[in-house]
Each structure stands twice: as C-alpha cells, then as structure tokens.
Amino acid sequence: MQHHAENAVPMEACGLIAGKGGLVQAVLSVTNITQDPKTFLMEPRQQLKAFEWIESRGMELVGIYHSHPAGPETLSPTDVGEAAYPVVQVILSREGDQWQTRGFWIETGQVFEVRIKVAH
C-alpha cells in the first residue's frame, strides 16, 4: 500500500484489502480515476475485477485503503459520507518522507479508530 501511495503522489492512491476473519491476505491496487489530489474514485472495471478475484479465492473484503498524501491522517467528511461498505477504512498519510497507516470503522456516521497491525 505504501509503495502504491508513494507512486501516486500527488494524487490519492486507492485499493481493496482482502482476507478472512480480519486477517489480510491480499492487497489489490485500483487506479484512481479522478484528477483531483484530494479525492479518489476507483476505476469501475478494475474494482469489479478485484471483487471477482477476491470472491474466486474464497476471501472477503476486509478493508478499503486510500492515501492522503497532503493530510489529514484521518478520514475526511467526504470519506465518511461516501463509505459504502462495512469494512475497515485504511488511511495512509505522509509526514515528511514517512507514511503512517491508520484504520477506522464507520458506524451510523460516527468514526472509530481501530487498531491495525502492519507487517512488511
């Protein structure tokens, strides 16, 4: 995810996180088709293919990620309003040369930070 985020700067990177039981087994990058560095919209065909790939391997969607290369390190009001799946929303934000990764759960419009463990 961090590699994808770094390569997308100044635009936001985005993608899907697949796994089982809350454990990540695959990260699928999807092209951001916006030309706005503060928003993202997944390319529909790639997103559909990613969902099909996840399902064909007996996995489930456990998260959606996107980057905020210029901040903030939390979900924006747009992120909260446009969240369409009940999964962890992962935000990668950059501070200097370092990327931070944080997870959030949205429930009835409220945002709760969740602990995530990132392994390289």
Per the annotation, the verdict on 73 as an active-site residue is: no
pLDDT digits (tens, 9 = 90+) for 39-51: 999 999 999 999 9
Helix %, strand %, coil % of the chain (to 5): 20, 40, 40
Residue of 12, 60, 82, 95 marked active site: 12
- 11 contacts 5 by C-beta, under 8 angstroms: no
User: 2-114: CATH homologous superfamily?
Assistant: Cytidine Deaminase, domain 2 (3.40.140.10)
pTM of the model: 0.92
Residue 120 has a pLDDT of 57
Q: If you average pLDDT over every residue of the chain, what do you get?
A: 92
List, in order, residues 6 or more apart from 115 with CB less than 8 Å away: 103
55 vs 84: CA distance, rounded Å: 18
